Amino acid sequence: MKYETYIKDTAYGGYGVGTMPDGRVVFIPHTVEGDTVSYRVAEDKKNFTYGELAEVITASDKRGERYCPHLGICGGCTFGHIAAEHQTEIKKNFVLGQLKRAGIAHTEPEVLSADFREFRNRATFRIRDGRIGFFKFKSNDFLPVNDCPVIKRSIVEKAQALASKISGSHTLYVTENEEGMALGKTYASVNGLCGFSGLETEDGVSGLKTILFGTKYGTFHAGFSTFLQGNRYLSGYLQDFVYENSAGKNALELYCGSGFLTLALAMKCERVTAAEIAKESIALARRAELKNVNWMAVSSETLIGRLREKYDMVVVDPPRTGLDKSVTDFIKNSGAKKVVYISCSPDTLARDIKRLSEKYRVAKLTVADMFPGSYHVESAVLLELYN
């Protein structure tokens, strides 16, 4: 049975919000505020439902160009049907909405965005019998593709060259720097490098084990499993945020990865303690040879129990789960005058700032549309100690 509804809002996760005939909320993918659509019930819950879009009856003025033939099918660009400027506005509201619900006062946010075309410097492909592709939306069904407009074209070409030489079902992770040097990781058996600078395969490692990424604050090394900010146009703004808002003699950075943000922090503070649980990331970070940084391969939760120093500022860039309560308790008692918080999750960001709010206020807020085409959003927040 089909129903009709007006889409009144867009929810975090990429679903338009409509209303069932019985008054319950229905979440419908590939829709946006202002659409009138018909839909079928895909999953019926007690207090809400998930719908499957049948037809867009009246299109919202927030819809954008159809830049890819796979929009609405591929599981990647769940926001791809929305015009770029409206995507950014929606994501800003995701962040501000969470802060409002947590009762957190904040400054007017700076909002950053960039062209969606070929913004990705890393990607994970599915390979099926010589072809690259992705999974379909909410499915493990393979969708073959010849191109992807949001991934750097040279990455796609290298993935196609490798895929053509192997059979069966495999996954391929690729990352590439601006000079075109790329690393690939797959558990297939591959003959040759297929245009990659380094490959980790079933047979071991061939070619380079790391490549360099240059930034205005210095160079960092990336390996086959290194976490990278995926937007080649906007990532540098996160370094800028750290640099512009750092001060003091002694700084602490938690969840430092392979030192991307540390490069900027080390230019402003005399001493930096930088911690990351992944030993391979710390090994790569040390290759930057920052003389004023003490790198520590340890979890942030473990490290804070050992620290006895006072810090002028703290920088954190945690995973989507945010900060453990022990970490926010440590920061509150650290005496740090400034805290820079980089977040990829609006809900855990708001939760953690709420925990810190008895000691810190939001002095600056930047919302960055780092992942155009998706519902994901990055935030950079400067917290300052109350006088």
For the chain, what is the domain count?
3
Question: One of 52, 289, 344, 384 is an active-site residue; which one?
Answer: 344
Domain match, 299 and 375 both: yes
Domain match, 309 and 247 both: yes
Task: State both tokens at 290.
Answer: 């920052």
User: Which residue do the tokens 């407009």 mark?
Assistant: 149
pLDDT at position 228: 87
Domain match, 92 and 130 both: no
Examine residue 80 and state whether it is found in any structural domain, yes or no: no
Beta strand 110-112 pairing with 360-368: parallel
Contacts of 167 (CB under 8 A, 6+ apart): 129, 130
User: Which residue do the tokens 């040879």 mark?
Assistant: 289
For 88-96, the CB contacts below 8 A with 24+ separation are 88/113, 88/367, 88/369, 90/10, 90/32, 90/33, 91/367, 91/369, 91/375, 91/376, 91/377, 92/367, 92/377, 94/12, 94/346, 94/375, 94/377, 95/346, 95/349, 95/365, 95/367, 95/377, 95/379
Confirm whether 68 is a catalytic residue: no
Confirm whether 344 is a catalytic residue: yes
- Per DSSP, the residues of 274-299 read EEES-HHHHHHHHTT--TTEEEEES-
pLDDT at position 227: 86
Give SS3 for 259: coil
Question: One of 178, 200, 378, 384 is an active-site residue; which one?
Answer: 378
pLDDT means over runs of 10, the chain (387 residues): 96 94 97 97 95 97 95 95 96 97 96 96 96 96 97 98 95 97 96 96 96 96 91 97 96 97 97 96 96 97 92 97 96 95 97 97 98 96 94
pLDDT at position 322: 97
Alpha helices in the chain (DSSP H): 84-101, 153-163, 235-244, 262-265, 279-286, 300-303, 325-332, 346-356
Among the candidates 179, 214, 249, a domain finishes at 214
User: Which residue do the tokens 């927040």 mark?
Assistant: 381
Examine residue 74 and state whether it is found in any structural domain, yes or no: no
Task: State both tokens at 269.
Answer: 């503070």
Task: State both tokens at 250.
Answer: 């002694």
Examine residue 73 and state whether it is found in any structural domain, yes or no: no
Task: State both tokens at 34.
Answer: 């202002």
Examine residue 219 and state whether it is found in any structural domain, yes or no: no
CA nearest to 48, candidates 70, 23, 29, 72: 23
Distance CA 108, CA 98 (A): 15
Residue 135: give the domain boundaries: 122-214
Q: For 92, list phi and psi in degrees, rounded to 5.
A: -60, -45
* Domain CATH code at residue 334: 3.40.50.150
Examine residue 224 and state whether it is found in any structural domain, yes or no: no
